[in-house]
Structure 1
């Protein structure tokens, strides 16, 4: 996915069950994705956010 802050960086998230760290992805009936846990970029733009039902929720 592309970073939602607008910096244009590509974010790769591991979703394979045996990967560490990894993210769980779920999709609701409307086709909107959610991720768990939050995404926190430790470098670059340093964005920290949740994806919930297709929306970006920024952490302070």
Structure 2
């Protein structure tokens, strides 16, 4: 998918449970996509967002790199 921020980057997400991290994609009754969990890009624009019922919901920490766990 294209990054919804408009930066022009492509985002590739794994839907396979054997991969970590992985996402679940479903359709609502209105046939719009819902993606779980949120997407937080760790390169480029650092967009952080949810996709629910075909709409993008931005998280307040968009634009900041995710904190990487040391464990």
Q: In the TM superposition, what is the alpha-carbon distance from 1:59 to its structure 2 partner? A: 0.1
Query: Over aligned residue pairs, what C-alpha RMSD do you find?
Result: 0.7
Uncovered stretches (5+) of structure 1, i.e. residues with no partner: none
Equivalences, count: 60
TM-score by length of 2: 0.81
Partner of 1:22: 22
Match of 1:53 in 2: 53
The structure 1 segments of at least 4 consecutive aligned residues displaced by more than 6 Å after TM superposition are none
Cα separation, 2, equivalents of 1:12 and 1:24: 13
**Partners of 2:34 and 2:28 in 1: how far apart?**
8
- The answer to whether 1:35 aligns with 2:35 is yes
- Kindly name which structure, 1 or 2, has the bigger radius of gyration based on alpha carbons: 2
Tell me which residue corresponds to 1:8: 8
